[in-house]
Chain A
């Protein structure tokens, strides 16, 4: 598959079902990834501590420590490795909890391997902070170096992915950004990825922007996308 791979990036596959672990491990190896596996949340945390992976594929529903808790622990420990969650279509609440805890994306089981590799490659491409100093739009201030976003002085408490999304809007004030543009700018996805992850995250960011009763600043442009209008 596309992309020049320097050395094989390490993927940690976490799923309580042995058959799923085995199938994903084999598939991802053949796609050019190095793979380690974990059968539950605690094993996953241990694996991350032992050998930090480049990206984690994490099942949401597991006995014992579930996927959401794993994300929460990782982010709580300041571990910023990108996480793609695997969930059933009806596990919406767990998925939402996972994304809010700091996971970057999700896939609904069963999924195509092409879909998974596209996400993983995009998540691996995610660059660090672009600009150097703080920048602002209206009453929103973004400081990439300190990973802090505020509105009218109020710290927004964004997750990594929410932060990146708002960062893109603040860099393009007044400009209408489409789903595909945001998928590419924030997630690094090419357009053939089918997901509503942008809609979900715009919702999260918007809620945090308006938490203290502030007026709407991130507006929906029907049929096109969204625009930050300070």
Chain B
């Protein structure tokens, strides 16, 4: 009990000590919070967007087969399906039709995809939440609702009007934001794709360990194809977002270093007043360890408050305010996401890393100079 009371008493004193240099300490906490906020924002963002990417790919086929002509992707003939299906280990092969559609009205690119469920529903579409927001016509950009008509310009310049029959909602907005599902017939009408061709082929295999062998066999039978494994796509996504996160960290490193210098200066240099106080405390019966305990609480109070506030603000920034600050850098090429919200995924390991790289060094930096002062003979205070 005595131990806890001692900690409480010293913590009490520390907090009122911090209150005495209010301006200085508040400024320090503000800068510290800002740095944590920036770092935590980058961590939250890259982790969540990677997580979203993996979610999208969860339902993706294990392997996609594309056809290449002169090194570029081209339509793949449907006759390839039969020969690929015969390869041992292949469970199913399905053609897929998808592409990008530029909507001049809203100045946006959409992803158009033929959907099996709409096979017999020619003239109908199901749209993603981003589409429903952007393609609205009239004054401003009001949301598109069910039963609205959306005009599509086909390959020959004629207009094909399609009726919205539903709006997609998934756990990840990234999956659906710019997606428009159409019937196969309408898709072929818009892009003039021959009936015996598809955009690519989706493969399911029985044993994922055989993926590489199957891919090798496909390229052997059809040298003009390129099999892409789901794992490869995921790796690419991760690399891209890690690279972007890294880029942001590099840009921020200036601010971080400026803070380190500020914090180091504040934490390591004891003012004359602080040294005098340590002398008084020693003279009236505080042990060196009591003074270090006080300084520990001081460092911990400053860095923990900054850490929690910075992390909390970063959470609000990334998951509730659509990452306003980083959006242009981190989100990339698309202009479709006016209200893009990431689903909150937080990696405890990353938070712990941030904690150990910020809170611990600051707290230690506060203790060290006090230790030097606290070992001085207390009689110096008699001569002040």
Q: Real complex partners, A and B? A: no
